[in-house]
Structure 1
């Protein structure tokens, strides 16, 4: 996506923050009746979710929002902190890779885990939680950015000389989220609402783009 600075291009895994301006979950069901021992012996399969939306921004703008880990605690649901442990900078032909530590919190739980992050400007950002993560058995987040074809009704009708032009707008953003908690306790407690997280992530992402770039161009 551009020249990366420390703290950029990190994980897209999102958890609750405690600052007043940060994201929260609305309308959660009453979780008080959930027992810590529900499904304690189960070994659930990873859950998969897919979201996509056309936004009035170019691919570079969208990519830079996802890649800027320093801003995550300001808008990402459940994110309480983040830092880059190691990075290997790439370029337009070679992805940037890094290890990023995310601190997350939901309900009464506070945890940290490390993800392997791969960023290819201005196409995708993928994060895979380390196998040693205490929180997740599996966690993969993939954000992809594509230009909207000029023939689409959502396109502004302005021709582009290059269909891969990162400055052309609007763009299609897609999110693929795959996860399984390592702890049956976490899996039981989160089961009532974690399926909503992919939608919350896209909504928070859209609101962040609006805050950073303004209304954009349809």
Structure 2
């Protein structure tokens, strides 16, 4: 199964970066390949955690696929967990972590592990997904600079 992980230091605090990544409705504005994102539902779990069910449409040239995920926001732990529910994947797991590393500096960790249901779709879109995931860190850092200032 393809997977990708990165750890990236940014000049913003962990709380701000968590909020930025948790604001999934804004993804179509800056996330590579994200054409649309619709939150179907949101539930407060009562202990500071929130769960979202979201449909994300990714598009590249003639390819367009929508998948549904369960997104768990854990602000106290500064962790975001994404669990695949439905769509073109056999499996998708995504995890974001945010660790303070000084005044207005944090380490953003990104991990994704996925497998397409169709080998054909996997071979056609796999390389494109890999390139997009490698651009995620810089896309979120650029967005943070735009929202919170450089």
Q: TM-score, normalised by structure 2?
A: 0.91
Distance 1:98 1:70, change over 3 A: closer
Q: CA deviation at 1:142?
A: 0.7
Q: Residue 15 of structure 2 corresponds to which residue in structure 1?
A: 60
Q: Residue 108 of structure 1 corresponds to which residue in structure 2?
A: 62
* Separation (CA, whole Å) in 1 of partners of 2:66 and 2:130: 21
Q: 1:89-148: CA deviations, max 9, x gaps?
A: 146x44211211111212311221110110011511111111xx2311111111100111
Q: Residue 100 of structure 2 corresponds to which residue in structure 1?
A: 147
Is 1:119 the counterpart of 2:54 in the alignment?
A: no
Q: Residue 88 of structure 2 corresponds to which residue in structure 1?
A: 135
Corresponding residue SS for 2:87: coil
Q: In terms of mean alpha carbon deviation, does 186-195 or 53-62 score higher? A: 186-195
Higher helix share: 2
Is 1:184 the counterpart of 2:132 in the alignment?
A: no
What number of residue pairs does the alignment pair up?
Answer: 149
Q: 1:8-54: CA deviations, max 9, x gaps?
A: xxxxxxxxxxxxxxxxxxxxxxxxxxxxxxxxxxxxxx212110111
Q: Residue 99 of structure 1 corresponds to which residue in structure 2?
A: 53
Q: Residue 206 of structure 1 corresponds to which residue in structure 2?
A: 141
* Separation (CA, whole Å) in 1 of partners of 2:100 and 2:26: 24
- Contact 2:96–2:109 under 8 Å retained in 1: yes
Q: CA deviation at 1:191?
A: 3.3
- Segments of structure 2 that go 5 or more residues without pairing to the other structure are none
* Separation (CA, whole Å) in 2 of partners of 1:118 and 1:71: 17
* Separation (CA, whole Å) in 2 of partners of 1:66 and 1:185: 31
- Contact 1:51–1:198 under 8 Å retained in 2: no
Corresponding residue SS for 1:198: helix
Distance 1:70 1:134, change over 3 A: closer
